[in-house]
Structure 1
């Protein structure tokens, strides 16, 4: 027997299937093409990675705008968001308050030490990324020592086997908030990197250029707050042969050396006596820091590079507890201090190695009298240190 459906029923069925198809296409993804403004727009419940991949395949529309909300991983993976060579030239920016988190408590195993994180890195920048690639305006949080070496749902770094000798522990485990690897020189602007935990190093940001120093990672107008790592570089870890430029950034409440040094050879522990800083710069790395503020961290900066530059910055009472080291805290531990100039210091031990020129810096500066934005009220600091960019208002860290 043949059933003849009324036209009205068929019409409703077509509409229903059309709506279902639209939902399936949109849920976890983005629209088929860029919007009228030329950008790919991502809303809560949609996939940032899908938008990045579409922008990568488009010759002209290279801007991805993520709208206010919290975005978390939908499966265990090496990163929540990743950009490698094919994504070069994309601007990924937040519109409103956008939180990128490594956490998904519904999928994470509650018994694991890494709970509730389910990705190694929140954001990954891989080989082949130039300064045309920009990350702007996000809060990046929630990393907690999760590690997977599975390439599912696809390798975040297709070029890794061709980049020579590497420390894979650092590739997979460093850089809980942001990992930069290989020939990768993104611009990172107006981000808040907070509440990330890493083992061994670089809870906020890890830079691993493998000696490819043709350009630098540029970080500006950003906040690194309350990140914690087991060994070195609680906020930023600049691994050997890497390069960074850091401008107008705030470092507060970051703690290194929370556990045993499982990386260094036995008997040769790195910074064994006093521990490492919010920023760690390894031998052979190049750093230029301008107008930054470091306060209330477990140590300020340790730098074993040559000729690195620190200018017009504030180092104030980086005496926070929470780490493990037999000797006391310091503001700056630097071998080659000839390019340290215009900085103001105050703390328990200002110049750990006695290398800083007291004529070019103030080693006994007055209290900066920070306000709620960590802007100094004291007139002596009018031309130095961090000033908050629009939409970045930190909450003062409590001393622990």
Structure 2
């Protein structure tokens, strides 16, 4: 039948609800969870919206295992201690995007009720901001950080790990630390925006699995924009550090825009001394990232990253325009990689291992915008090389906005699946 509706609003609303249900974040509660409600004025125990807790109070309360956080801006301290951070312990889930009246988690809307974790403390400007806004520290004797530790529906901004007076730190936005024997940090991070963070390495995020540890989070529907690392180190957005250990994150429906560093404008993978830094990227988009030396999108030393249905286009570097590696083997399939030559005889081996189905043609990406869902994305335009050229066997079931894949005969490459225009009439009528 025909149903009249606003196409953009329909994508935003249905996209969020579908995304929430398929990623498991829309259930009324987490099984066995003790819910604590949080807002910026909290002073109660969090048992109801009328007696909300502060965020730091809920994080330190062992009775609080699921936190519902009302829209607003939260800082780790009201003072000037740059070492203050939001420390998320094992098994705790944080959900942002609440208006402050909801009785079920599925009623929240992170796209409308913006919830920001900010490092902006002290004086205006970032010089005295928090070193790291959010910390997840996995220690086997106290409880490793597992997939049941969730951060969902937030913007993380304003972290600054640079301090010339002492020493510089990695992970301005978030540190996932599982370094050391038997320690692990493997949280689930979904529907999160990292923007405007700065650090020595991993401007937005540092995943440390060194010294026989494991730092391997799962990222779903996440956007990294305008994050930077110090010129001496790498990973404008993410540093994966697997020196003599493992740092093998999984990224699904993730967008990187306008991040910058020395090496790896968006991602720096550092695995050496029998360690591994081998992330798995599925339906990820890179654009506008820059590296002053090499690897505009990603740089790897010691590891075997796997890229499937990935766009890396419009990034810049002095060498290794998009993907650069040393002592590493990056396998790339069904992806759009600028300067790669595309699969077959024209493939440039310096890009990585050709897994087939790769293209070197303009994906016609738009600007970063709210295209539906909880996080901003880059929408491919008409004639995009990304449309209907992905691998159905490996693509994600929904895109970054919550749109079902595939819309055509094959999935689209990148974080966004373009709505099939054959299902939409010029006057907005949708074929059902």
Take 2:217 and 2:258, find their aligned partners in 1: how far apart are those partners? 23
Pair 1:291-2:283 in alignment: yes
**Could you give the per-residue CA deviations for residues 266-293 of structure 1, whole angstroms, max 9, x where no partner exists?**
xxxxxxxxx3331011122221111000
Q: Select 1:256's aligned residue among 248, 254, 261.
A: 261
Cα distance, 1:79–1:210 mapped onto 2, change above 3 Å: farther
Take 2:173 and 2:162, find their aligned partners in 1: how far apart are those partners? 12
Contact 2:154 2:192 (C-alpha < 8 Å) held by counterparts: yes
Task: Please give the secondary structure, in 2, of the residue aligned with 1:51.
Answer: helix
User: CA offset at residue 115 of structure 1?
Assistant: 2.3
The 5 A counterparts of 1:47-126 are: 47-54=54-61, 57-58=62-63, 61-72=64-75, 73-75=77-79, 76-83=81-88, 87-95=89-97, 96-104=113-121, 107-108=122-123, 114-117=126-129, 119-126=130-137
Contact 1:64 1:91 (C-alpha < 8 Å) held by counterparts: yes
Give the number of the structure whose residues are more often strand, by fraction.
Answer: 2
The 5 A counterparts of 1:1-400 are: 29-32=42-45, 34-35=47-48, 42=52, 47-54=54-61, 57-58=62-63, 61-72=64-75, 73-75=77-79, 76-83=81-88, 87-95=89-97, 96-104=113-121, 107-108=122-123, 114-117=126-129, 119-127=130-138, 128-147=144-163, 173-182=169-178, 183-198=184-199, 200-212=200-212, 216-230=216-230, 231-240=233-242, 241=245, 242-257=247-262, 275-283=263-271, 284-298=276-290, 299-319=296-316, 327-328=318-319, 330-334=321-325, 335-337=327-329, 339-347=331-339, 354-358=350-354, 360-370=356-366, 372=369, 373-377=377-381, 378-382=383-387, 384=390, 387-389=399-401
User: CA offset at residue 355 of structure 1?
Assistant: 4.9
Task: Please give the secondary structure, in 1, of the residue aligned with 2:302.
Answer: coil
Cα distance, 1:213–1:247 mapped onto 2, change above 3 Å: farther
User: CA offset at residue 131 of structure 1?
Assistant: 1.3
Contact 1:102 1:122 (C-alpha < 8 Å) held by counterparts: yes
Q: CA RMSD in A?
A: 3.3
Take 1:194 and 1:316, find their aligned partners in 2: how far apart are those partners? 20
Higher relative contact order (CA 8 A, sep 6+): 2
Q: Who wins on radius of gyration, i.e. which is larger?
A: 1
Task: Please give the secondary structure, in 1, of the residue aligned with 2:385.
Answer: helix
Cα distance, 1:147–1:180 mapped onto 2, change above 3 Å: farther
Contact 1:68 1:97 (C-alpha < 8 Å) held by counterparts: yes
Runs of 5+ consecutive residues of structure 1 not aligned to the other structure: 1-25, 150-167, 258-274, 321-326, 395-400
Contact 2:380 2:386 (C-alpha < 8 Å) held by counterparts: yes
Report the count of equivalent residues: 304
TM-score (norm 2): 0.63
TM-score (norm 1): 0.67
